[in-house]
């Protein structure tokens, strides 16, 4: 199947070409790889793994600081 993507800005296309060149691929091959990877990603499994890590950390009994203030300060810079 063929897919057409219109109206990408020049900067985006330029960055994609650089990425393709680094991987020794054509622009078309790079775009195909990006789309196939995104479509194949199993987000449910990814979130389940993140939840498991969170539970393991919580089980250690360690206290973790609330990063809300740090994030707010960073955004305000």
pLDDT digits (tens, 9 = 90+) for 25-45: 999 999 999 999 988 888 888
Cα(45)–Cα(25) distance, integer angstroms: 29
Domain boundaries, the chain: 10-76
The reported pLDDT for the residue numbered 8 is 94
**pLDDT under 70 in the chain at which residues?**
none
> Which pLDDT score is estimated for 29?
97
Q: Are 23 and 30 spatial neighbours (Cβ–Cβ below 8 Å)? A: yes
Q: In angstroms, rounded to a whole number, what is the distance separating the alpha carbons of residues 63 and 76?
A: 26
Q: Which phi and psi angles does 7 have, rounded to 5°? A: 65, 35
Rounded CA separation 29/42 (Å)? 22
Q: What is the pLDDT of residue 77?
A: 85
Residues with Cβ < 8 Å from 12, sequence gap 6 or more?
A: none
pLDDT given for residue 51 in this prediction: 93
């Amino acid at each position: 199947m063929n897919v057409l993507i219109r109206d990408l800005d020049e900067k985006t296309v330029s960055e994609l070409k650089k990425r393709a060149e680094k991987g020794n691929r054509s622009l078309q091959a790079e775009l195909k790889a990006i789309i196939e990877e995104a479509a194949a990603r199993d987000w449910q499994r990814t979130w389940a793994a993140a939840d498991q890590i969170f539970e393991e950390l919580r089980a250690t009994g360690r206290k973790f600081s609330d990063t809300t203030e740090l994030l707010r300060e960073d955004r305000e810079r």
